[in-house]
Structure 1
Amino acid sequence: MSYFRTAMLLAGMTALFMGVGYLIGGATGATLALVVAACTNLFAYWNSDRMVLSMYGAQPVDARNAPDLHRLVAELAARANLPMPAVYLMDNPQPNAFATGRNPQNAAVAVTTGLMQQLSREELAGVIAHELAHVKNHDTLLMTITATIAGAISMVAQFGMFFGGNRNNNGGPGMIGSIALMILAPLAAMLVQMAISRTREYAADDMGARICGNPMWLASALAKIENASHQIPNEDAERSPATAHMFIINPLSGRAMDNLFTTHPSTQNRIAALQQLAGQLGGSTTARAAVPRGPWTGASRSRGPWG
Structure 2
Amino acid sequence: MGTIKTFMLLAALTALFMAVGYLVGGAVGMAIAFGVAVVMNAFSYWNADKIVLRMQGAREVAEDERSPVLRTFASDTKALAEHAGLPQPRIYVIDTPQPNAFATGRDPNHAAVCATMGLLNMLTREEVAGVMAHELSHVQHRDTLTMTVTATIAGAIGMLANFAIFFGNRERGGILGAIAIMIFAPMAAGLVQMAISRSREYEADRRGAEICGNPHWLASALQKIDRGARATVNQRAEDNPAMAHMYIMNPLAGRKGDNLFSTHPATANRIEALRKLATEMNIAPSGNLAAAEPADHRAGPWG
Q: Is the CA contact (8 Å cut-off) linking 2:221 and 2:290 kept in structure 1? A: no
What's 1:59 paired with?
A: 59
Q: Report whether the alignment pairs 1:87 with 2:85.
A: no
What is the Cα deviation at residue 41 of structure 1?
2.3
Deviations 1:273-292 (A, max 9, x none): 212222333333x6858698
Q: Structure 2 counterpart of 1:219, which letter?
A: A
What is the Cα deviation at residue 107 of structure 1?
1.5
Q: Report whether the alignment pairs 1:133 with 2:132.
A: no
Cα distance 1:29–1:241, how it changes in 2: closer, same or farther (>3 A)? closer
Q: Is the CA contact (8 Å cut-off) linking 1:36 and 1:152 kept in structure 2? A: no
What is the Cα deviation at residue 250 of structure 1?
1.7
Task: Tell me how many residue pairs correspond in the alignment.
Answer: 296
Identity score, percent: 53
Q: Report whether the alignment pairs 1:107 with 2:111.
A: yes
Q: Structure 2 counterpart of 1:222, which letter?
A: L
- TM-score, length-scaled by structure 2: 0.81
Q: Is the CA contact (8 Å cut-off) linking 2:226 and 2:254 kept in structure 1? A: no
Cα distance 1:203–1:36, how it changes in 2: closer, same or farther (>3 A)? farther
What is the Cα deviation at residue 129 of structure 1?
0.5
Distance 1:225 1:160 in 2: 37
Q: Is the CA contact (8 Å cut-off) linking 1:22 and 1:29 kept in structure 2? A: yes
What's 2:299 paired with?
A: 300
Q: Report whether the alignment pairs 1:184 with 2:188.
A: no
Q: Report whether the alignment pairs 1:196 with 2:200.
A: no
What is the Cα deviation at residue 62 of structure 1?
3.9
What is the Cα deviation at residue 83 of structure 1?
0.8
Alignment of 1:242-261 (within 5 A): 242-252=242-252, 261=261
**Secondary structure of 1:127 counterpart:** helix
**Secondary structure of 1:300 counterpart:** coil
Q: Is the CA contact (8 Å cut-off) linking 1:87 and 1:108 kept in structure 2? A: yes
Q: Which moved more, 1:98-107 or 1:26-35?
A: 26-35
What is the Cα deviation at residue 84 of structure 1?
0.6
Distance 1:17 1:269 in 2: 34
Unaligned runs of 5+ in 1: none
CA RMSD of aligned residues (A): 3.4
What is the Cα deviation at residue 58 of structure 1?
2.5
Cα distance 1:25–1:112, how it changes in 2: closer, same or farther (>3 A)? closer
Q: Is the CA contact (8 Å cut-off) linking 2:89 and 2:109 kept in structure 1? A: yes
Q: Which moved more, 1:145-154 or 1:200-209?
A: 145-154
What is the Cα deviation at residue 198 of structure 1?
2.6
Cα distance 1:245–1:91, how it changes in 2: closer, same or farther (>3 A)? same
**Secondary structure of 1:283 counterpart:** coil
What is the Cα deviation at residue 18 of structure 1?
4.0
What is the Cα deviation at residue 82 of structure 1?
0.8
Distance 2:103 2:183 in 1: 31
Distance 1:282 1:238 in 2: 40
1:96 equivalent among 89, 100, 109: 100
Distance 1:4 1:289 in 2: 43
Distance 2:58 2:281 in 1: 36
Distance 2:78 2:242 in 1: 30
Distance 1:53 1:3 in 2: 22
Distance 2:28 2:286 in 1: 57
Distance 1:75 1:192 in 2: 34
What's 2:121 paired with?
A: 117
Q: Is the CA contact (8 Å cut-off) linking 1:21 and 1:33 kept in structure 2? A: yes
